[in-house]
Each structure stands twice: as structure tokens, then as C-alpha cells.
Amino acid sequence: MARVGLALGVASALTGYLSHPRFYCNYVECCPRDGQRLNASGTAGAGGGRAAPELGRSLGSAARGVRALKAQLDNRLFGQHLAKDVVLKAVLGFSNNPSPKKPLMLSLHGWAGTGKNFLSQILAEQVHPAGLRSKYVHLFLATLHFPHHDQVKLYKEQLQNWIRGNVSACPSSVFIFDEMDKMHPGVIDAIKPFLDYYEEVDGVSYRKAIFIFLSNAGGDLINKAALDFWISGKRREDIQLKDLEALLSVGVFNNKNSGLWHSSIIDRNLIDYFVPFLPLEQRHVKMCVRAEMTARGYAVDENIVQAVADEMTYFPKEQRIYSDKGCKTVQAKLDIHEDLVMREMKARGVGQLLAAAHTSLKEIDAVSVRKV
């Protein structure tokens, strides 16, 4: 009996250990615990009755998460000082708040190729390391998921059910809505109750979720403002959020080709930040080319960097200041130069091998002479 009791005790302890979140979550993706809304190296403690140390750990973890996010944005997102600053401040305030009053709601605007998708993916990765592959990150494409104008009512019901079910499973869920400029007006208003200042809606709290809109709408307004700064001799980096946010909010609200046309989400001021993405200059396109070459394992060749940048089209036509596709076609254009890159790498490799062989032969001759 004693042996049976011991075996049962060991089995019970082992089962408890294997089912403990800290072990289980090493192998299976888990929803972040409270105090871990951003991916950071530290972990929040779980001891009972020690609220102040718990809060301190949570704030420390949040600060590390924001630093990690800043490093990612600095290294991977080019030419968007405004977007970086706004998103970092928004995320820091949201993650530092142990009890936010509403979900974080960001609306990213700008022409294609300026980095909107890229930033949303980086932010998703900081909340859920698997990023877009995470079961807690949900990407909606207007033309794919909401294509038919006569099914708006059905889309709204499906969208509410989907969000309700996923936030119930993980309060820190991330929802990304791409192609907002192509979404049928009225569809997105279905999520308005989840974005508002309610503690719960039908027994579910949405306050720790993150919602991100991506839209080309307002891009023309942003581009005009950037060009006006350039014409007046001001630095691009001097553009501030106050120069664009109100312009964006009104412009998108009144844009009949936008999914946010006369939206109650804007009318109720539920979007925390309208984030403008500026048009990219040639120097930023070159940064994208260098980053892509490095990602492919190539040595950066400035001749190829310049060649790819020169093949892009720019506006205004006379001054050629801004890339009209941002960095969107950099990968495709670099593919064209890939054969040249590979030939140069092979040539360098052969040259290095010949040089090494020549050196080895000289060393062998030297040894032979000494022996004689």
C-alpha cells in the first residue's frame, strides 16, 4: 500500500508539474498572462497577496517589451519617424496600464509600400511571438472576407461572433483589418461596442485587446502635407502628429470610398490614434534594398542598391522626391538582379579559393626549401 501511495503521489506531482503553465507554455502557444501583454525577457510573478511587487514586475516587463518593440522598429521600419513615435507611446501607455478603460485602437494610413502592414506585423509579434501565425492574431482582408455589398448584415453578425469568441479565449487578442479603404461602409461599425468604454459586453471584457486598421485612405492628404513641408524648406522629421491627425480624421470620415465613411467609431472618438505613414524618399528605398539583401544572405553591393532604387518611379515627375510605391516592389526588382548578385558572389568565392590555394602552395614550397 505504501508503494502504491508513493506511486500515486509521484504521478500526481508529475501531472501537476506537466500541466503547470510555465512548463506547458514552453511547448504550446498560450495567451499571455496579466502583466505580459508585450513580449519581454522578464516574467511577471504570481505570488498571492503582494500587489505592489506584482505591479512593479508588470511595469518592468512592459518597459522591456516596449524597448524590444523600439529596437524592431528602428531596425526594420524606414522613414516613418511619426509612426514609430506614436505607436511606441500608445503601446507604452496601454501596456503600463494594468486596467485599461478600453482596447487599444490604432488606424494606420498611407500609400501602399510605406510600412503599414510591416508595422502591424511587428506589433503583433511583440504581443504574440508567432505573429500572424499565432492563433491569437487575426487578420481580415476586406476584399477576401467581406466582398459582397448585399451581405453586410451577415458580415456584421459573423464579425461580432468571431471577435467575441476569440477575446473570450484570449483577452490579449490582436485584430488587424487590412484594406479598410475597400471595405463596405457599415461593416466595421459592428465592432463599435467592443471598442467603447464598457467594462464588459455580454460578460466579456475587451479592454486588453488590440485593434489595428490599415488603409490607403488619406494617403493623398499625407503626401500633400509632406510635399508642402519639402517645398517650404522644412525637414521631413519636423512633421508632427498635430500637423496631420485632425486632417486624417476628417478626411477619412468624409471619404465615401473608405470603410470608415461616417463611421460611429470615428464619431464616438474610439480610435486612439490616426497614424500617418509618410511617402518614402529614395534614401529610404535604398535602406529597404539593403535590408532585403541582408535578409537573403547577400553582401550589400551599393551598385545594385542604386540600380534597384533607380528603377523605382517617383513623384512629382520633375523633382522625383517620393517613391509612388514605397518599398512595395523592392523584392521583385531585386529578383531581377539576383543572377548578377549570385554571379558576383561565385566570382568572389572562386577568387578567394584561388588565393587560398596560391598561399598554400607558397607555404609548401617554403617548407620544401627549408628541408633541403
The reply to whether 286 and 270 lie within a common domain is no
The reply to whether 179 and 61 lie within a common domain is yes
Domain end: 276, 310, 342, which one? 276
* C-alpha torsion sign, points 328, 333, 339, 344: negative
pLDDT at 58: 54
Residues 6+ apart with CB under 8 A from 64: 38, 40, 41, 42
pTM beyond 0.95: no
Query: pLDDT by residue (tens digit) across 252-287?
Result: 999 888 899 999 999 999 999 999 999 999 999 999
Q: How big, in percent rounded to 5, are the helix, strand and coil portions of the chain? A: 55, 10, 35
Whether the predicted pLDDT of 148 surpasses 90: yes
Distance CA 53, CA 59 (A): 10
Lowest-confidence region among 5-19, 127-141, 245-259, 289-303: 5-19
**Does the residue 1 lie in any domain?**
no
Query: pLDDT by residue (tens digit) across 73-96?
Result: 999 999 999 999 999 999 999 988
**Does the residue 4 lie in any domain?**
no
Tell me whether residue 112 is annotated as binding. yes
The reply to whether 240 and 352 lie within a common domain is no
- Pick the more confident residue, 112 or 10: 112
pLDDT at 45: 34
Whether the predicted pLDDT of 357 surpasses 90: no
By the 8 A CB rule, do 277 and 108 touch? yes
Domain end: 276, 293, 322, which one? 276
The reply to whether 287 and 190 lie within a common domain is no
Distance CA 14, CA 21 (A): 13
Q: Which helix (H) or strand (E) holds 288?
A: helix 282-295
The reply to whether 195 and 306 lie within a common domain is no
Tell me whether residue 113 is annotated as binding. yes
The reply to whether 182 and 217 lie within a common domain is yes
- Residue 165: is it exposed, middle or buried by C-beta count within 10 angstroms (0-12/13-18/19+)? exposed
**Does the residue 35 lie in any domain?**
no
- Residue 54 pLDDT level (bands cut at 50, 70, 90): very low
Domain end: 276, 303, 319, which one? 276
Tell me whether residue 142 is annotated as binding. no
Q: What is the CATH number of the domain that holds 178?
A: 3.40.50.12190
Distance CA 230, CA 227 (A): 5
Whether the predicted pLDDT of 63 surpasses 70: yes
Mean pLDDT of the chain: 85
**What is the extent of the structural domain holding 161?**
52-276
Q: How many domains does the chain have?
A: 2
Tell me whether residue 63 is annotated as binding. no
Query: pLDDT by residue (tens digit) across 339-351?
Result: 766 666 666 665 5
Query: pLDDT by residue (tens digit) across 152-211?
Result: 999 999 999 999 999 999 999 999 999 999 999 999 999 999 999 999 999 999 999 999
The reply to whether 75 and 224 lie within a common domain is yes
**Does the residue 321 lie in any domain?**
yes
Distance CA 348, CA 151 (A): 59
The reply to whether 95 and 226 lie within a common domain is yes
